[in-house]
Amino acid sequence: MHAALAVHPASGNGAAGRLMESVAARLRPAVDRLDVLVANTVEESRALMTDSGAAGLDVLVVLGGDGSVHEGVQFCAESGVALGVVPAGTGNDFGRALGIPEEPHKAADAVARRIAAGNRRRIDLGRAGGEWFATVLCSGFDALVTERANRLRWPTGPRRYDVAILGELAAFQPRPVVLRTDVETLELDATMIAVGNTPFYGGGMRICPDADPEDGRFDVTVVGNATRRDLLRMLPGVRSGRHVAHPAVRTLKATEIHLAGSDLPVYADGEPLGRLPIDITCVPGALTLLG
């Protein structure tokens, strides 16, 4: 069994770097070979994964947050290598959706057990703008919040998104958007649109509360022409998923989506994917996971 541990040392404000050796020590007894891939940039990470894959890699374990997992997903979806995750970031929404232990050492022990047992499962992924995504793609107010949150150095963790929300509320106005799916077409002034393969984004916000990464479909949450007062009333409920009961919110399911209209940014797994328009596809069983 040949495994690699991919580490972005800066993830989680340096938590991944501090945990690297202890996590590797927990994985080594379960494998014949463990490569530790330490990268500080996306380019370094992808190059190291490719080199390790060429040597016959069976399992890639990512130690980090959702940005690090996003890079692991790109590699594993293309190569067929199984993915394991040890959460060590600020959001950890992918791990949360899949029930992976939040405590890194417990997660590492779970990964080691699954490697030893040979357990595998397949989940769906989204494909958009030439990239795979595992959690949520968003455009509109929430994408602008993510853009602002990524620029903040304080606070850390989920509170960073709360601060970014307050910053965007002051200026944002709903924009004309066309949402065309394999089932229906909506033309509306939209505040935000979230396309969920899994329920969570933004460090635990349940934006697409019923999203299931094994049902072959996206759950789409559309917030229409909402006022700032509407958003302020709605946002506390996003943590629990209660926001979907608000009159400005509509939910639907789809496998193919074309999203166009205003020149809004698009983010997926918290990573930038450019701006509208964009085509989005659900690819069933595209990712192999440990477990």
Distance CA 171, CA 68 (A): 31
pTM confidence score? 0.92
168 and 255 co-located in one domain: yes
Domain boundary among 70, 94, 118: 118
98 and 10 co-located in one domain: yes
Domain boundary among 86, 118, 150: 118
- Reported as a single tens digit per residue, the pLDDT across 189-246 is 999 999 999 999 988 999 999 999 999 999 999 999 988 888 888 888 999 999 999 9
66 and 100 co-located in one domain: yes
Q: Tell me, what CATH number does 47's domain have?
A: 3.40.50.10330
Ranges of residues in the chain whose predicted pLDDT is under 50: none
Say what the pLDDT of residue 176 is.
Answer: 95
**The tokens 């963790």 sit on which residue?**
157
Distance CA 36, CA 110 (A): 18
**171 burial class (0-12, 13-18, 19+ CB within 10 angstroms)?**
exposed
CA geometry: angle 203, 253, 283, nearest 5 deg = 80
Distance CA 282, CA 286 (A): 9
279 and 140 co-located in one domain: yes
148 and 217 co-located in one domain: yes
113 and 148 co-located in one domain: no
161 and 188 co-located in one domain: yes
197 and 94 co-located in one domain: no
Domain, as residue range, for 20:
2-118
Q: Is residue 226 part of a domain?
A: yes
Q: Is residue 24 part of a domain?
A: yes
Question: What is the tally of structural domains in the chain?
Answer: 2
Residue 178, CA distances (Å) to 28, 140, 192, 248, 259 in order:
50, 12, 12, 16, 6
Q: Is residue 289 part of a domain?
A: no
Say what the pLDDT of residue 158 is.
Answer: 62
Q: Is residue 123 part of a domain?
A: no
Q: Is residue 124 part of a domain?
A: no
Say what the pLDDT of residue 144 is.
Answer: 87
114 and 27 co-located in one domain: yes
Q: Is residue 54 part of a domain?
A: yes
Q: Tell me, what CATH number does 184's domain have?
A: 2.60.200.40
Q: Is residue 290 part of a domain?
A: no
177 and 60 co-located in one domain: no
Say what the pLDDT of residue 27 is.
Answer: 98
Distance CA 165, CA 201 (A): 13
Domain boundary among 85, 118, 151: 118
Q: Is residue 126 part of a domain?
A: no
66 and 136 co-located in one domain: no
114 and 143 co-located in one domain: no
- Reported as a single tens digit per residue, the pLDDT across 104-123 is 999 999 999 999 999 899 99
From the list 246, 239, 252, the residue with the least C-alpha distance to 194 is: 252
